[in-house]
Structure 1
């Protein structure tokens, strides 16, 4: 007998629907579950797998069962549309990397040497800084430096 597992796409649809139904925010969910809201969002959107205990906690919190836990635990295939994004917020991040990518590469490699910043050993935070001239978005990307090796 074979079992069909819930896809990451169906998982995300169900989670978003339940989040809206319950009037929740990612911040509230993260605080209630003791998880980073950024990581939690990424896992719920299907871009990360959740360890068993976190997957079970998320599923239980939202009122889902074992099928949701298994979907949250499943390893993702990290594929995204490679076209230039049209959503304004996502486009601006794309633009930042386009404009400042080479600058970041130069500065990082000048400080650390030849290598990359890990997106695996990585954390990210999004904060709001209130400012009378207009609120500010503070993105903190914190990745381990991985030097290239020679052989």
Structure 2
């Protein structure tokens, strides 16, 4: 009888129906997980094939920004922006890298940019900024995501030095 009562006590203490725990719903778990994610930071920044060899995350990011700035600069060097707007030496370009590896470029103008024909500059930029190398999109939790950043692009370098030939 002692064995039976000991067995009965053991079974009753381990019975699930007496110690039910509240299991959170799927929606609650999803909301909790979504709130814990920092959506402003990606796990991997977009990259170009030339930067893939670099293991350090910050150096790979720097490589990407430098190459993109240089490519945009090279494409705009052969254009008429410097002739049409000689006072315009630097322009900020908002670059959007979509999850499907496509790029979009949008010039950013200061709020007081009434001196520039923003529509004309925008159309020139859109016409010139094509045929870029394949860009791998940013990664967040193993999934490609859209990323945006603003690159300052130097349209022309001001020459402050005079040649000796010009002085003679």
TM-score (norm 2): 0.26
Higher fraction of helix: 1
Give the structure, 1 or 2, with the largest relative contact order (CA under 8 Å, sep 6 or more).
2
